[in-house]
Structure 1
Amino acid sequence: MSEFAAVDVIRTKRDGGVLSDAAIDWVVDAYTRGAVADEQMSALAMAILLRGMTPAEIARWTAAMIASGERLDLSAVTRPTVDKHSTGGVGDKITLPLTPLVAACGAAVPQLSGRGLGHTGGTLDKLESIPGWRAALSNDEFVRQLRDVGAVICAAGDQLAPADRKLYALRDVTGTVEAIPLIASSIMSKKIAEGTGALVLDVKVGTGAFMKDADMARELARTMVELGTAHGVRTVALLTDMNTPLGLAVGNAIEVQESLDVLAGGGPADVVELTLALAREMLAAAGLDTDPAQVLASGAAMDSWKAMIRAQGGDPDAPLPTARETEVLRATADGVVAGIDAMDVGLAAWRLGAGRARKEDPVSFGAGVLLKVRPGDTVRAGDVLLELRTDEAARIPAALATAGGAVRIAPDAPTAAPLLIDRIA
C-alpha cells in the first residue's frame, strides 16, 4: 500500500504547500503507470498553475519526468552535442536551416521535434512535406545518424519521458498549458533525456507566442536555464520577438522552401538573422570557434541538409507539394505597413489546412499564407498584402475573415522592433 494518496498531494498544492521530493516522485510515477487518474492529475495541474512551485519542486518534478523513461546515450558521438528548442511561433522554421548549419560547423545536433497544434506550426509536419522523409527513428538509427551526418531532426521515441507525453495531452484539454513549472519541466525533461551536452532556448514573446508578456517569458527562460544547468547541460536562452511572423512563409512546404532559400544564401533577413544568432550561441555552448555566416555562405550547410534528408529516406531534390487554390488579400488604402499580427496570420494558415485542431488531424502540406509585405513597406490601395493557399476552396472565406485584420496600414512608418530582446544564461 502506498504511503501517499493523490487527493492529499492535490490538497497540499491547492492550499499553497510545498510538495516533498517523495510525493513528487510518487505522483509522477503513479500517473505514468495509470494509478493516478486523469481527473486527479488535472486537479493537481490546475493547483500548480494557480499556486506555482518552488525552484526545488520544479527541479524534482523534472527529474521525476526524466526518470519515467529512458535516457539516450550519446557517448558514441565524438562531436560535441548541442540542441535548440523554440517555444513555438508563426513562421518559425528556424530549426530547418539551423540544424544542418550547426552540424556543418562541427557540432552534432540531436533535434527531437514535435507536430503543430493550433496556430503554431510543427517542425515534423514541415519536413514530412518532403517526399519519402520519415520522422520515426529507432535509438540506434538516431545515434548512428548523429555520428555519421551530425544532424538529426526526428520525433521523440515513446520511451523518452513518457510522463511528459501523457501530461502534455492532459494539460492541452484542461486549461493548464500556461503553467510555467509545467512548461519548463515538459521541455527540459525531454531535452535532458535526449542526452545533449548543451542547449540553446528560443523563448518567443508576443501576439503569436504562448508567452505574450516579456516578464513571464523571462521567468520561463530563467527556470529552464536553471533546470538545464542543474542537470549538467550548458543552457542559455534568447528572448525573441513573435509579434510579427518570422519570414514570409507560414505553412509546411512553403516554410521548407524558405529554409532552402536561406541555405542557398538568400531568404528573408529576419530568418537569416535569427538562424545565425542561435547558431553562434549553440557553437559557443559546444565550445566551437567557428563563424556560421562563413559556413552558410560556403554552401556546406546545404550539403549537410541534403545528407540529413537522405539519411531519413527523403529526396532533397524532389518538388515540394503545392496547393490547388489561391486567394489574395489586398490593401484597401494607401499607407505604410505598421504591423502584421502573427496570431492572425497563424490562425489563417490553420484555417487553410496547414495546422490541426486535434493531434490526430491530418495537415495539408501545400496550405499556408505567403506575406507579400513586411512592416515598414509602403503600399497603395489594391496592392497584394497576403497570398492564401489551400487545397480546399471552402476553407478560403473563413481564412480571409481571420487574415482581414492581420496587416495594419498607417500613415507613418512604425518604429522597428528588435528581433532579439534579451539573453539569459
Structure 2
Amino acid sequence: MAERFDMVDVIRIKRDGGRLDDGRIDWVIDAYTRGVVGDEQMAALNMAIFLRGMDRAEIARWTRAMIDSGETMSFESLSRPTADKHSTGGVGDKITLPLAPLVAAYGVAVPQLSGRGLGHTGGTLDKLEAIPGWRAEVSNTRLMEILEDPGCVICAAGTGLAPADKKIYALRDITSTVDCIPLIASSIMSKKIAEGTGSLVLDVKVGSGAFMKDEDQARELARTMVDLGRDAGVDTVALLTDMSVPLGRKIGNALEVAESVEVLAGGGPADVVELTCALAREMLAAAGVEDPDVEAALADGRAMDRWREMIRAQGGDPDAPLPVARHTHEVRAERDGTVTRLDALALGVGSWRLGAGRARKGDPVQAGAGIEIHAGLGERVTAGQRLLTLHTDEPDRVDRALESVTPGIEVGDGPAPERRVILDRIA
C-alpha cells in the first residue's frame, strides 16, 4: 500500500475529536503491521482513541483492517454448521470445556480457538494442558478432520490470524489503553471473524472478577461486539453474565478440568451447569437446531462421549489421573453464620499467587495449583468448618495467597446478596 497519509496528521485528527475515514484506518493498520509506523506513534493513537472514542463505522473499519492484516479461515467445506463462543474471561470460568462437546453432540461443529491465561483470569489452554498428553497445537488439516468427527476442537489460534491485533494488544498492555471499548471490541471480533465461524455467542462478564466491573460498560461492550459481528455477516448474540462470585467450586487448571468432567457426567455446580446450558441453547439455535434438551445430553452421556473423543483426538488421555498439588492449606470459619461474601477477584488473585496463573506471557503454570470452595455464597456454616482449600506445589506461596483470599470471604449474620448468573441477553 502506498504511503498516502501522515501518521502525525492521523493522531491529530483523533486527538482533536475527529473521525478517521476508511482510507486512514486501512493505512494505519497496514503500516503499523509492516513496521512503517512506530510503536510510539501507535501508542499515541491508541491513547487518542481511548480518550476520544470511535463511532460504529470507525470501529467496524478498524476491525476489518485488522482481519485483512492476515489470514482468514473457512469452514464451508465441513458437512455440518459451525458455532463458536467467546468469553471475556473470569475466575473459575471453565465453561468452554463442557460446552464444546455438548454442542457437538447435536451435530454442530465447534472450532474453539482459545488462549492462555494472564493475571487472575485463567486460560482454557492452560486448563486442558493439565490432561496428560493433550496438545494445544493442531494443524489446519487436522483441525478440519476433528471438526468432522468428533465435531469439536479446543486449540491454539494460528499466528496468521489478525497479526495487527497481536502487535496492537501488546502495545496497549504497556500503555494503559487496554480498557477501551472500541479497542477491546475490535481486538476480540477481528480474531473471531477471521476464524470464519458461521455464528458466535459472546459471554460478556461483569463484576469484580471480570475485565468489566460496571454493568453499563459491559453492556456497551456487548452491544458493540454484537454489532461488529452482524455487520461482518456473522450471526452474533451476547449474554451478560455475573462474575462477582467465582463460577463453580474450583479455581485452577486441573481442578477446573475435574469440575468440567463432573458437569459432563450430569453433575457439577448449578451455576456452571446453568451457564453451560444457556450458551449451548444459543449456539444451537444459531446453527438451526430447534428446542434441544441440552440437560438430557449432559445426563445421558452424549456430551461426555464427545469430550473423551475430543481429548483423544488431541493426544490426551481422558482416563489419566489429573495432576495434584503437593501442598494444601485449609481456611476455616471462625464463627457460625452465612457466607455473605465470596469475591471473585480476591479468590482469582489468590489462585494466581498459588501458581495457577502467570504474571508474564511465557511464565510456567502449576497444573495442580488453585482453590477449592467448600462453602458457597449464602450457605450456612459452623465455626471450624472448612471454607476453602488452597493447593500449591510451593508452600511459601500460601501466605501471599491468603493476603488476597482472606478478605474475600466473609461469614456474617445477614442474608447473602442475591445472585443471578445471567443478567441480560443482547442481540
Same structural fold, with TM-score higher than 0.5 when normalized by the shorter chain: yes
Which residue type is aligned with residue 349 of structure 2? Answer: L
**Alignment match, 1:150:** 151
Secondary structure of 1:328's match?
Answer: strand
Partner Cα separation in structure 2 for residue 328 and residue 400 of structure 1: 10
Partner-residue secondary structure (3-state), 1:352: helix
Aligned position for 1:187: 188
Residue pairs, 1:15-414, within 5 angstroms: 15-289=16-290, 290-414=292-416
Contact 2:74–2:197, Cα closer than 8 Å, also in 1: no
Distance, in Å, in 2 between the alignment partners of 1:70 and 1:167 is: 17
Alignment partners' CA distance in 2, 1:264 and 1:94 = 14
Q: Distance in 2 between matches of 1:64 and 1:281?
A: 29
CA drift at 1:404: 0.8
Structure 1 runs of 4+ aligned residues shifted over 6 Å read: none
In the alignment, the residues of structure 2 paired with residue 190 and residue 286 of structure 1 have an alpha-carbon distance, to the nearest angstrom, of 20
Would the aligned equivalents of 2:370 and 2:392 in 1 still touch at CA under 8 Å? Answer: yes
**Paired residue secondary structure (2:330):** strand
Q: CA separation in 1, counterparts of 2:27 and 2:141? A: 31
SS state at 2:321 partner: coil
For 2:160 and 2:253, how far apart are their aligned partners in 1? 27
Q: Residue type matched to 2:345 in 1? A: M
Amino acid aligned to 2:412:
A
Offset at residue 415 of structure 1 (A): 3.6
Q: Is the 8 A contact 2:137 2:155 kept in 1?
A: yes
Q: Is contact 1:128-1:135 (8 Å) kept?
A: yes
TM-score normalized with structure 2 length: 0.98
Tell me whether 362-371 or 282-291 shows the greater mean CA deviation: 282-291
Give the Cα–Cα distance (whole angstroms) in 2 for the partners of residues 7 and 85 of structure 1: 35
Match of 1:421 in 2: 423
Distance 1:158 1:332 in 2: 50
What one-letter code is carried by the residue in structure 2 that aligns with 1:306? R
The answer to whether the Cα contact below 8 Å between 1:76 and 1:147 also exists between their aligned partners in 2 is no
Structure 1 residue 402 displacement after superposition: 1.0
Contact 1:200 1:278 survives alignment (8 Å): yes
Deviation at 1:148, TM superposition (A): 2.1
Q: Indicate the SS of the match to 1:106.
A: coil
Range moving further from structure 2, 377-386 or 334-343: 377-386
Q: What 5-or-longer segments of structure 2 have no aligned partner?
A: none
Measured in 2, the distance between the counterparts of 1:269 and 1:375 equals 12
Give RMSD over aligned pairs.
Answer: 0.9
Counterpart-to-counterpart distance in 2, 1:277 and 1:285: 13
Paired with 1:105 and 1:4, the residues of 2 have a C-alpha distance of: 50
Are the equivalent residues in 2 in contact too, given 1:105–1:292 (CA < 8 A)? no
Instruction: Please report how far the alpha carbon of residue 101 of structure 1 lies from its aligned counterpart in structure 2 after TM superposition.
Output: 0.3
Q: Distance in 2 between matches of 1:370 and 1:41?
A: 43
Partner secondary structure for residue 407 of structure 2? coil
- Work out the CA distance in 2 between the residues paired with 1:383 and 1:5: 66
Distance 1:380 1:293 in 2: 34
- Whichever residue aligns with residue 183 of structure 1, its letter is I
How many residues are treated as equivalent by the alignment?
425
Identity level (%): 66
Aligned partners of 1:166, 1:13: CA distance in 2, in Å? Answer: 20
Most deviating of 122-131 and 332-341: 332-341
Q: Distance in 2 between matches of 1:402 and 1:279?
A: 34
1:9 touches 1:19 (CA, 8 Å); kept in 2? Answer: yes
Mean Cα deviation higher: 116-125 or 5-14: 5-14
Of 339-348 and 30-39, deviating more is 30-39
Q: TM-score, normalised by structure 1?
A: 0.99
**Hey, what's the Cα distance between the residues in 2 that align with 1:106 and 1:149?**
9
Q: Is the 8 A contact 1:113 1:123 kept in 2?
A: yes
Unaligned runs of 5+ in 1: none
Residue 206 of structure 1: CA displacement? 0.3
Q: Give, in whole Å, the separation in 2 of the partners of 1:6 and 1:320.
A: 52
Q: What is the DSSP-based 3-state SS (H/G/I as helix, E as strand, rest coil) of the residue aligned with 1:405?
A: helix
Preserved contact between residue 329 and residue 386 of structure 1 (Cα < 8 Å): yes
SS state at 1:12 partner? helix
Q: Partners in 1 of 2:417 and 2:106 — Cα distance?
A: 35
Deviation of residue 55 (structure 1)?
0.2
Paired letter, 1:199: L
Deviation at 1:333, TM superposition (A): 2.1
Contact between 1:72 and 1:139, CA under 8 Å: does it hold in 2? no
CA distance in 1, matches of 2:39, 2:140: 30
Q: Residue 355 of structure 1 aligns to which amino acid in structure 2?
A: G
Q: Distance in 1 between matches of 2:410 and 2:12?
A: 48
| Counterpart-to-counterpart distance in 2, 1:408 and 1:11 | 50
- Following TM superposition, by how much is the alpha carbon of 1:381 offset from its aligned partner in structure 2, in angstroms? 2.1
Q: CA offset at residue 414 of structure 1?
A: 1.8
